[in-house]
Amino acid sequence: MTHSSSTLYFLIFLAVLIRASAHHAEFCNYTRNFTLNSTNSAYVKNRDTILSSLSQNVAAHDGFWNTSTGQNPDTIYALAFCRGDTSANLCENCVGTALHDLVERCPDQKGAFSWGTGGQPCFVRYSDTPIYGILQMEPSLLIDSVDIITMSPAVWWNLTLGVVNQAVDSPSKLKFATGQATLPDNRTIYSLLQCSPDLLANDCRSCLNEAIDYDDKHGRGKQDSGVYMPSCIFRWDLYPFVESSLSPPPPPTAPGGTFSKGTLVATIVSVAVFVMLLFIGCCRLRRRRAQTKYEAAQEECGVIEIPSLKSLQIDWDTLLSATNNFSQENKLGEGGFGEVYQGRLPNGQDIAVKKLSRTSGQGGEEFKNEIVLVVKLQHRNLVRLLGFCLEGGEKLLVYEFVPNKSLDYFLFDPMKSKQLDWPIRYKIISGIARGMLYLHEDSRLRVIHRDLKASNVLLENDMSPKISDFGMARIFKVDQSNGSTNRIVGTYGYMSLEYAMHGQFSQKSDVYSFGVLLLEIICGKRNNYYYQSDGGEDLASYAWKHWRGDAPLDIMDPALGESYSRSQVLKCIHISFLCVQEDPANRPTMANIVLALSGQTLSLPVPREPAFFLQTEMPNNFMGKDQGYDQITSSSVPLSSNEALVTEVYLR
């Protein structure tokens, strides 16, 4: 090796060491302190006791240890784990060093955590509140270099999302996975993801997706980039940074044995191998026949094109068992799209299974669209997709089970609506707004939902909302502000005029739907209620008359009684009118809506008279079948004049 080559390798090695040392970080919880000079305090003693043996316990238990000690209010909880490719010695040293640094840098804080040191980090946390099994994604640490590189985004996404699935489904308790992919220029990119081993699979997936999303926004394009969070890590680079584990050499062959004994052994082995091969052949033949049918269904839906989705496939037999053979007792509801069943997976997780009707009009493209979107979108106000099934010509989507059904189940029932007092309704309104803001601006995709309505908002036990049904959603490019289509989908009455009449949709068409939904939540009435009872008047025009007549609070749901904030209700009515303006340019963004709902002082413009959609004269060809329109109506109510058919009915 030449002197110049030696110098070059030394400089590269030195650069790696310098960058690795920069990955050292601690975080102190300054909101929970104790008195430092109380050296005899119970909390100090408990902390010193639990931390003194943590590094040895982590190394002795395959890289992960969780423990607690003491009585309230001096209980301390501690957790530590090492990266999946770290040896026991390195793991113990890393945890020991991290603990020493934490106590030194966070001397009087009751909670702290460290991302360890260098390129093989460990993760150490302690707190006076429980931390085991609790997802925590803040604060986060972005590591990257100044070296900007060009590469294929498609290769990067396929690799990272594929490794996410490997980490979540890893048989190792460390929830650790690595992967590599070849770029078009023959360079190789390497990826590593790991969750805190105490996380449930869904929380692990959420954390990793959030880390990838954060890196995509702030670090992608920079070599050796990654994101460290308290509950997970993500890292990738163009050089192999993972410690590879060498398989141990095979044991030496034992000498001795007579010829006859060797012959007997060889005969037995040969017969066993033959029987095994015959068995494997039969199994593969059966599997190939089933797989041919399965891949045909996959190809129809386009799922086969996305390797990272394979780990989300759930076989038919599992869902059959989970739903008690799709029994009537497990049925949650049905509509034009098909039927929904409650089930329970073998691991005890409750699920909701949407079994799409073959006549629903929701074909392969919509099915694939919903899978791809919901997997990439992770937010507390969006429903989570757990998997899907394509067998025997069936299309099934498996979601997290949301126990309180949908918003319309409560809102439009005279008795059940009493459970929705104003604080709960305001919580639901704010949650829907945050979910829509995430879709429009904060996710790594820019998504237009196109079918926001009360029946597509599910409610948790605490009445937190989750937006569902992304089959009709559309992805926008970063620099794209609107789109158009001649295939209009959604629910008439929630559609903006420009979308229903001309097929033009944008974020502002979602804002219009939000405004209609907001009025429904305030009034406790469907948007077509007054059209049916008062001869052609929709909810917006009814509310506008009271607004102009200085009696806006008269539109409130009587079930609310006196449990409301006058200022909040007036603000929500004001926002709803801004949302249903005829000109999209006059409608607010979801960002401004969220700010207004969060209590920020904003000067809201004076609303103009809303677009009274039901009073608008429709063009003569609006009902024409040759226009390519199709109408998706709410499955929870009969079709009414407010949900008039645009053309042929494609129920789902």
- What is the per-residue pLDDT across 195-218, written as a single tens digit (0 to 9) for each? 999 998 888 999 998 888 888 777
Lowest-confidence segment of 356-360, 437-441, 480-484 by average pLDDT: 480-484
User: For the CA atoms of the chain, what is the radius of gyration?
Assistant: 29
Lowest-confidence segment of 143-157, 286-300, 450-464 by average pLDDT: 286-300
The encoded tokens of residue 595 equal 């700010």
Residues designated as active site = 451
Lowest-confidence segment of 269-273, 290-294, 565-569 by average pLDDT: 290-294
Which segments within 345-468 are labelled E, that is strand?
350-356, 385-391, 394-400, 446-448, 457-459, 465-467
- Which CATH architecture does the domain made up of 21-127 adopt? 2-Layer Sandwich (3.30)
Q: What's the pLDDT score for residue 422?
A: 96
Q: Do domains 21-127 and 141-237 have the same CATH topology?
A: yes
Inform me whether the pLDDT recorded for 255 exceeds 70: no
Lowest-confidence segment of 46-50, 205-209, 621-625 by average pLDDT: 621-625
CA distances from 548 to 414, 544, 552, 603, 610 (A): 27, 6, 8, 19, 12
Helices 507-523 and 590-597, axial angle in degrees (round to 10): 30
Per CATH, domain 310-400 is 3.30.200.20: yes
Structure-model confidence comparison of residues 217 and 63, the more confident one: 63
Assign 170 a pLDDT band (cuts: 50, 70, 90).
confident
Separation CA 559–CA 417 (nearest Å): 7
The encoded tokens of residue 335 equal 């509509």
Assign 100 a pLDDT band (cuts: 50, 70, 90).
confident
Average pLDDT for residues 595-612, to the nearest whole number? Answer: 82
**Beta carbons of 82 and 243 less than 8 angstroms apart:** no
Q: What's the pLDDT score for residue 410?
A: 94
Inform me whether the pLDDT recorded for 620 exceeds 50: no
Inform me whether the pLDDT recorded for 412 exceeds 60: yes
Inform me whether the pLDDT recorded for 495 exceeds 90: no
Assign 510 a pLDDT band (cuts: 50, 70, 90).
very high
Inform me whether the pLDDT recorded for 321 exceeds 90: yes
The two beta strands, 465-467 and 394-400, are: unpaired
Separation CA 43–CA 70 (nearest Å): 8
Separation CA 492–CA 513 (nearest Å): 10
Q: What's the pLDDT score for residue 282?
A: 63
> Following CA atoms 437, 441, 444, 448 in sequence, which dihedral angle do they give, to the nearest 10 degrees?
70
Average pLDDT for residues 148-176, to the nearest whole number? Answer: 81
Q: What's the pLDDT score for residue 64?
A: 92
Separation CA 27–CA 194 (nearest Å): 20
CATH class of 407-643: mainly alpha
Structure-model confidence comparison of residues 479 and 550, the more confident one: 550
The two beta strands, 482-484 and 504-506, are: antiparallel
Average pLDDT for residues 342-359, to the nearest whole number? Answer: 85
Inform me whether the pLDDT recorded for 624 exceeds 60: no
Structure-model confidence comparison of residues 305 and 33, the more confident one: 33
Calculate the average pLDDT of the chain: 76
Inform me whether the pLDDT recorded for 275 exceeds 60: yes
Q: Is 193 left (phi over 0), alpha (psi -120 to 50) or beta?
A: beta
Separation CA 34–CA 45 (nearest Å): 12
Q: Which long-range contacts (CB under 8 A, 24 or more apart) does 332-341 make?
A: 332/405, 333/405, 333/635, 333/636, 334/635, 335/634, 335/635, 335/636, 335/651, 335/652, 336/360, 336/361, 336/632, 336/633, 336/635, 336/649, 336/650, 336/651, 336/652, 337/362, 337/635, 337/651, 337/652, 338/652
Is 355 labeled as ligand-binding? Answer: yes
CA distances from 571 to 457, 590, 599, 607, 610 (A): 22, 15, 10, 12, 16
Inform me whether the pLDDT recorded for 258 exceeds 50: no
How many C-beta atoms lie closer than 10 Å to residue 105's C-beta?
Answer: 13
Q: What's the pLDDT score for residue 617?
A: 40
SS3 618: coil
Q: What's the pLDDT score for residue 588?
A: 94
Separation CA 278–CA 390 (nearest Å): 29
Task: Please give the angle made by the CA atoms of 543, 548 and 549, to the nearest 5 degrees.
Answer: 95
For the chain, the structural domain boundaries read 21-127, 141-237, 310-400, 407-643
Average pLDDT for residues 609-624, to the nearest whole number? Answer: 47
Assign 450 a pLDDT band (cuts: 50, 70, 90).
confident
The encoded tokens of residue 517 equal 């939904």
Give pTM, 2 decimals: 0.53
Structure-model confidence comparison of residues 57 and 285, the more confident one: 57
How many C-beta atoms lie closer than 10 Å to residue 462's C-beta?
Answer: 8
Beta bridge partners of 180: 190
Inform me whether the pLDDT recorded for 31 exceeds 80: no
SS3 339: strand
CA distances from 19 to 94, 123, 235 (A): 17, 18, 13
Q: What's the pLDDT score for residue 592?
A: 93
Lowest-confidence segment of 348-357, 401-410, 455-464, 475-484 by average pLDDT: 475-484
Q: What percentage of the chain exceeds 90 in pLDDT?
A: 25
Inform me whether the pLDDT recorded for 464 exceeds 90: yes
Structure-model confidence comparison of residues 380 and 374, the more confident one: 380
Inform me whether the pLDDT recorded for 107 exceeds 60: yes
Lowest-confidence segment of 116-130, 347-361, 632-646 by average pLDDT: 632-646
Structure-model confidence comparison of residues 419 and 148, the more confident one: 419
Tell me the range of 135-139, 159-163, 196-200, 510-514 where mean pLDDT is highest.
510-514
- Which CATH architecture does the domain made up of 141-237 adopt? 2-Layer Sandwich (3.30)
Structure-model confidence comparison of residues 319 and 505, the more confident one: 319
Separation CA 528–CA 643 (nearest Å): 8
Q: What's the pLDDT score for residue 524?
A: 94
